[in-house]
Amino acid sequence: MSKIESTLDNLFAKLVNLKNQSKTRLCALWKKYSPQLQKLKQMDLGKVKTFVSEYKWRILLILIVLYSGSKTYDYLFPSADKVGGPVTVTTLVVEKKDIPLIIEATGTIVSNNIVDIRPMITNTVSKILVKDGQEVKAGDLLFVLDDRNDKANYEKLKALADDAQSQYLRAKELVAKNFISKAGLETTSANAKSAMAAAKAAEVQLSFDYIKSPIDGRAGIVNVFLGSLVQASNVVSTATSSTATSSVGAMVTITQLNPINVQFIIPEKDIPTILENQLDGEALSVQVTVGDSGKKTYDGKVLVIDNQVDPSIGAVRVKAQIPNEAMTLLPGQFARVFLSANTLKDALAIPSQAIIMSPRGKVVYIVDKDDKAVSKPVKVLYEYQGQAVVDGITTGDRVVVEGKQNLRPGGKIRESKTASPTLTTNPS
């Protein structure tokens, strides 16, 4: 509708321009031929016939132009007694409403927590207790490495620690009976503590053979096999040959999927708006749709707004969290985000289709108490999904929404019997 209205307004402007050009042309013709018409009064009948015969085509052209100009002017600017019947329109009574200020953005689904499971030592895999895509809990045992050497070393040091502790307790009894000196007691105490520390170190070393999940989440693809040699490294690489398979780096990746996050960017011009609302202590709400279909909407809250603006794109990164109980969202998916940045209190909102683009700017038609159309210029403060918050009208004004293309200022209107248009504030 806006394109049609714009075309009609342009046509109207051209007709007005044509009217002005016609007046200018007629004035020029009058100045050119008025001396000859003055002479015509002084001519006798024969001379009049000769004059008419000589300039008949020019006279005919002047009459046609005068007639056409008169009809065009009467059509474009009809007098009050010649105006046609009332135009059927649909109107909306303007009311104050709270309008949410929505910022649209595109983003990416990211995990709330993701861990690459890597070995702390170089060893071979003896047991694999996790399957591809398995749901795991924090503390679940995932892999067991060859623990024979580490277990034997721990048992040896544990036995030495127990013996050193027994010697220390025996020395305490002997000191009480003055059989040994206090210096001997201190020596046995130091030996017991040293042996206990060595046993604890061996216990920690042994624990590296039992790899557990640090978080709740879903396991990815397992990159090792029974007997695979794994090494402590930050490089993810798995190599398989005809004789052996070795893995360097991540054995499996655990990804937390519920809840899950969405990361997006907000233009620099919108930063003051979202920060102003965040300073009030309320978490900004978002609605997220994933994929091209956008059939399902996920409601969430903003977690953090980055503390710096990326100068290369003039935007700031924002991270929000949404629920994912069905585990249907995966990291890396494309997402559309609708951020409720603020709320415009007591705003005057009208349908966007009620606004007309005219040579004077944006205007709307208001119906006065006599059911006549009155043109009012407006300023659009905010526009989103078919509604516009405007300045220039007041509460209670009847704004023409449909049928305005047939209206002229001062024209009579008749309200349509169909349902009046309503505003929607749902961003989805």
299-328 pLDDT, tens digit per residue, is 999 999 998 999 998 899 999 999 999 888
* Dihedral sign computed on CA atoms, order 382, 388, 389, 391: positive
% of the chain exceeding 70 in pLDDT = 78
190 pLDDT higher than 60: yes
22 vs 42 pLDDT, higher one: 22
SS3 state of residue 262: strand
Assign 241 a pLDDT band (cuts: 50, 70, 90). very low
Residues 339 and 349 in one domain: no
List the structure tokens of 354.
């009620």
SS3 state of residue 162: helix
Lowest-pLDDT choice from 64-78, 220-234, 286-300: 64-78
- 189 within some domain: yes
Residues 331 and 272 in one domain: yes
Give the chain's domain count: 4
Q: φ, ψ for residue 17 (rounded to 5)? A: -65, -40
422 vs 387 pLDDT, higher one: 387
- On whether the CB atoms of residues 163 and 195 are closer than 8 A, the answer is yes
Give the range of the structural domain holding residue 287, as residue numbers without chain letter.
105-112+256-344
Looking at 344, 364, 388, the residue that finishes a domain is 344
- 244 within some domain: no
Lowest-pLDDT choice from 61-75, 231-245, 284-298, 411-425: 231-245
Q: By C-alpha distance, which of 356, 358, 349 is closest to 384?
A: 349
What would the mean pLDDT of 351-370 be, rounded to a whole number? 87
- On whether the CB atoms of residues 304 and 319 are closer than 8 A, the answer is yes
Lowest-pLDDT choice from 48-57, 146-155, 298-307, 324-333: 48-57
- 139 within some domain: no
CATH number of the domain where residue 263 is located: 2.40.30.170
